[in-house]
Amino acid sequence: MTAEGLIMRIIRIEVAVWVFALAFGGLVEAQRPEPKVVATIGGEDVYELLPVGGIPAIDDPSFLTGEAADAQMRPDEPVLGVILDGEARAYSLWQLDAHEIVNDELAGTAITATW
């Protein structure tokens, strides 16, 4: 498969997932924004599904203690773990699915965790 073919397959899957998510997110047909065509590759349209800033970053994250997290999270909940100078953070991937970016500070260093 060519790179263009792969890009188009990914775009089509993302469009299907986006429409599915909107359908089950309580939006009615009239509220759905029309995808914007931003380019054409090999005769196929490439769509912008979300505008810049359409997925908000978490800029001031709050954290639970290990005990509180155990009570709230499932034992098999996946996390993105970061350790820096002996300090550790765990970001729930299920939370990152909705935000994708966390801007945080760890051991006095500004970090960005992305998913």
- pTM for the whole thing? 0.56
Q: What is the DSSP letter of 32?
A: S
For residue 73, give the nearest of 61, 57, 58, 91 by alpha carbon: 91
Domain boundaries, the chain: 3-48, 66-114
Dihedral sign of CA atoms 21, 23, 28, 30 in order: positive
**CA pair distance 95, 115, nearest whole angstrom:** 10
Q: Is the pLDDT of residue 5 over 70?
A: no
For the chain, the average pLDDT equals 75
| SS3 assignment, position 7 | helix
pLDDT band at 13 (very low <50, low <70, confident <90, very high): very low
pLDDT tens, residue by residue, 16-61: 444 444 444 444 444 556 778 889 999 999 888 777 777 888 898 8
